[in-house]
Each structure stands twice: as structure tokens, then as C-alpha cells.
Amino acid sequence: MSDRQPYVRPYSAESLGEAPGRGRLNRRRILVVGGGQQVVDATTDPVGNGRAMSLLFAREGAAVAVADRDREAATATAGLVTADGGVAHVIEADISREDDIVRMVGDAVDTLGGLDGLVLNVGIGVGGLGLGAVKSDEWDKVLGVNLRGPMLCCREALPRMAEGGSIVFISSIAGLVAGSRLPAYDASKAALGGLMRHVALEGSRKGVRANIVAPGLVDTPLGRRATQGRPGRGTAPQFFGRQATGWEIAYAALFFMSDEAVYVTGQTLAVDSGLTGIS
């Protein structure tokens, strides 16, 4: 046996959210749905995916509408954007409510003066583990948030988006491989791929792209809460020796949102240290 220590991927400036903006989204108008974040321990919480994306997009030159069902969380994100020199607006909306979605998209278009980008960073996983523990009301709740909500957001936003815009779904590798042991969550994330491809097809008529970022294990407040319920999550092997940061997920979304991905649509990018590709 080798005495060599397992490889641990070093943190880059991008991994830590310390890299400067490069103007990759200048003058873009982007709605981030799920731009707040939960609080597990305010003194030690790392940045969540939605907050990291809101901050990064603004740092790259975009005006951002931060939408979340928790106004306080969205306001906190917007405050960080403003403190960083960016432009952010707060929208309170519950993705499980159709009326809220209609209002949210309309408010974003009015406030930003148009819409060039949409990020759907939403998802819940509830219920017991395994098929035997599935309850129909919990199944409906998960699919209502994880699949119906993004569909309604796209229904409302796509006709209003500027030509050449971009829609990014934040999914999970649970939509690619079994593993969460939450059937409704896995099924909803897998179905999100079908929705994304349909949106990409319809969007192509005016150059609007649609893609998925599928994170693996990420060290976020939500991830830490999930680990509290499933301790094995925190010790699962990683090829890079650690979980991803919210910033690393945000940079993948930035690629899809920017002109660097101008010829990429209908695709899924797993940000998982290779778990779904080489394990």
C-alpha cells in the first residue's frame, strides 16, 4: 500500500470568491431565483450557491434581481452585492405559488428594464428514505417546487427575455445517478433535464440558451443541514479530497451565462470532482 496522502484540491481565488470581476456580464440583467440562503450557524456559514451567483454576476457587471421566499435572506444578499459595488434588487416570491412567479418575473423585468438571464436555484428534499417511506403529499410538494416551479418561471420569463439570453438551471448529480435515497428529489432533478432541453429548443428561436449545472457535494449552509440529517454525506469520498464551495458552482453558472458559452445549449455540466464521470 502507498503511504501517499490523498490529494486535496487547493482553493483558488475563484474557489474563495476573492477573484476580481472581468466584465464578463457587463450590462446584463439577471434574475436569480433562490438568491438568499438558509442560516445554520451565522458565525461559520459558508456562502450558498444562490448568494455566490448573485455576488459573482454583479461583480462581473450585471444588474441582479435577487428573488427568494425569505425576504430577509434576499435582502442580506442584495446588501452584500451593494457593499461590493454592484447593483441588486430584492423580490420576495415563493416558487411553489404560481401567482408569486408571475409577479416575480414581471417585477424583475420592470425593475431591471429587461431580462438577459435567469438562474433557477431552487430545490427541496423532504420525506423519509426509500420508496416505502414516500407519502403522496410530500411527493407532490417536492415536484411542485423542484419541477413545476422552474417550468412556470420559464413559461413567464422566456417570452420576455432579450435575444441571446441564457437560462441556467441549478440541479444536482442526484438527477444523473442514484444516491440521495429520496425518490421524489431524484426524480424531480432527473425530470429537470427534460424541461431544460425543451426550454433550449423553444429558446433557440431567438437565441436563448438553456443549460444545467449539476453540483455534487457542496459545502453550503443547506449542505451542512443535509449532513446533520445524513452524517454519511459529510464523509463521502471525493476525488479532490473536499467538497465544492458555493463559488465554484457560481463560476460554472457564470460560464453558461456569459458569451463564452454562446454556442452551448441543451447541456448538463456536473461540478462534482468527477463523481459521475469516473467513479
42/109 Cα distance (integer angstroms): 32
In a domain, 16, yes or no: no
Task: Check residue 1 and give its pLDDT.
Answer: 42
Q: How far is CA 265 from CA 169, 206, 207, in A?
A: 12, 13, 10
User: Which residues are designated catalytic?
Assistant: 185
In a domain, 51, yes or no: yes
In a domain, 20, yes or no: no
Domain total of the chain? 1
In a domain, 139, yes or no: yes
Specify the CATH number for the domain of residue 119: 3.40.50.720
In a domain, 80, yes or no: yes
Helix or strand holding residue 154 (H, E): helix 149-157
Residue 233 sits in which domain range?
29-278
Burial (0-12, 13-18, 19+ Cβ within 10 Å), 142: buried
Q: Rg for the chain (alpha carbons), in Å?
A: 18
Task: Check residue 7 and give its pLDDT.
Answer: 86
230/140 Cα distance (integer angstroms): 23
Q: 36 Cβ partners below 8 Å, 6+ apart? A: 48, 50, 51, 66, 68, 69, 70, 72, 73, 74, 76, 77
- Whole-prediction pTM value? 0.93
209/207 Cα distance (integer angstroms): 6
For the chain, give the number of residues.
279
In a domain, 10, yes or no: no
For the chain, which residues score pLDDT lower than 50? Answer: 1
Q: How far is CA 169 from CA 103, 121, 239, 240, in A?
A: 20, 7, 25, 24
